[in-house]
Structure 1
């Protein structure tokens, strides 16, 4: 499992691909960029736990998972867990937030209000989110014939400069720096062993198998058309689109640089953005109007399937093949 180092999620690469392919003058460019920075800040907040997790004191058979996304069999819906700590005695769930400013928590109303300057923004309460994840995890464990165990649901603020405010103290809500002490406390209050070593190994293997990373379909999300992102590739050195293919290399007529891999980033972007099946002529235009044979040769290693078997054949790229 991904024990300490958090893997960079696919959706960040997808947003970066969209921002590369979409013209900055596009009506939705700034809104998409704002969403990207929101997701990036959230990831950076989770990433900041790396050091804290490296100093926690856990049972030698315990393990830690980051960024889990699991599916419940009953309703076929996914649920996500930022931080999961599995020990022989209990399971800990941590919902991680990286908000700045003053954070006013009202769990009875299921909300958190962020006060920053003169602005006030309301979000779902992360503590309620973590409790919902705990319930879903209990169902998931039962569905996989795993014994019930105490599950503790907490919420953490990863930004140490944020101010946590609430009318009454909330023991399950704190800054991330307190995580080692919280886990120490749970270790002291849970002395009955629930999971054997074999149970833990089975669960770790199962979580790894069942974890399914989210694949965002950004073109549909922002009501874009695929032709808006399938624009001719550009030079890696000067961003010009005046490229020519000559002797298995790309030649830029603007800066006169030569390169063999100019097309790779563009093809990866199309795969990340799930542009779907496209005709060979579309790829020819995308690849600086090269010949059909050359275009087919460049995309063939990354094609997962052909929609048609004869005339009118279309090609789809798979990001896992790059």
Structure 2
């Protein structure tokens, strides 16, 4: 589990019962747990493929001084590198390449997110510093 999931589970063990249902704490924990579950689901599916022509690395944490960055899953082959940023969210997602915006629709409500391609490009540029 991610470090945050462990932290929330430890917190729940120590909190008094009346505080365990605090909306902000439970909501954050569910978000972290959903992300963890999504990563594990992808890890499992990747493990079902024969891995003789590529390598899979999960949960990589690298330093880009003065900070660190994390890669959910990195797939290396002789010809290509794939960087997977795993999300586990509900609803319908649409990416508008002209506006460079990702939107999520759940129950008629639309929420906007940062451009995931820019995130991947940033990760790619950080990785290239290692190569």
Q: TM tier, shorter chain?
A: 0.7 to 0.9
2: CA distance, partners of 1:24 / 1:111: 41
Q: Is 1:134 the equivalent of 2:129?
A: no
Per the alignment, do residues 27 and 95 of structure 1 end up closer, same or farther by CA in structure 2, a change over 3 Å counting? closer
TM-score (norm 1): 0.37
Tell me, yes or no, if the aligned pair for 2:73 and 2:83 is still in contact at 8 Å: yes
Tell me, yes or no, if the aligned pair for 2:71 and 2:85 is still in contact at 8 Å: yes
Tell me, yes or no, if the aligned pair for 2:12 and 2:20 is still in contact at 8 Å: no
Counterpart pick for 2:67 among 77, 80, 85: 77
TM-score (norm 2): 0.83
Per the alignment, do residues 89 and 59 of structure 1 end up closer, same or farther by CA in structure 2, a change over 3 Å counting? farther
Q: Provide the residue aligned with 1:12 in structure 2.
A: 5
Instruction: String of CA shifts for 1:188-244, please: whole Å, max 9, x gaps.
Output: xxxxxxxxxxxxxxxxxxxxxxxxxxxxxxxxxxxxxxxxxxxxxxxxxxxxxxxxx
Where 2:119 maps in the other structure, the secondary structure is: helix
Cα RMSD after superposing both structures: 2.3
Counterpart pick for 1:34 among 17, 27, 39: 27
Per the alignment, do residues 86 and 124 of structure 1 end up closer, same or farther by CA in structure 2, a change over 3 Å counting? same
Counterpart pick for 2:92 among 84, 99, 102: 102
Counterpart pick for 2:56 among 48, 55, 64: 64
Q: Is 1:93 the equivalent of 2:86?
A: no
2: CA distance, partners of 1:27 / 1:49: 30
Per the alignment, do residues 77 and 90 of structure 1 end up closer, same or farther by CA in structure 2, a change over 3 Å counting? same
Which ranges in structure 1 are unaligned for 5 or more consecutive residues?
1-7, 147-322
Greater Rg by CA: 1
Which has the larger strand fraction? 2
* Number of aligned positions between the proteins: 131
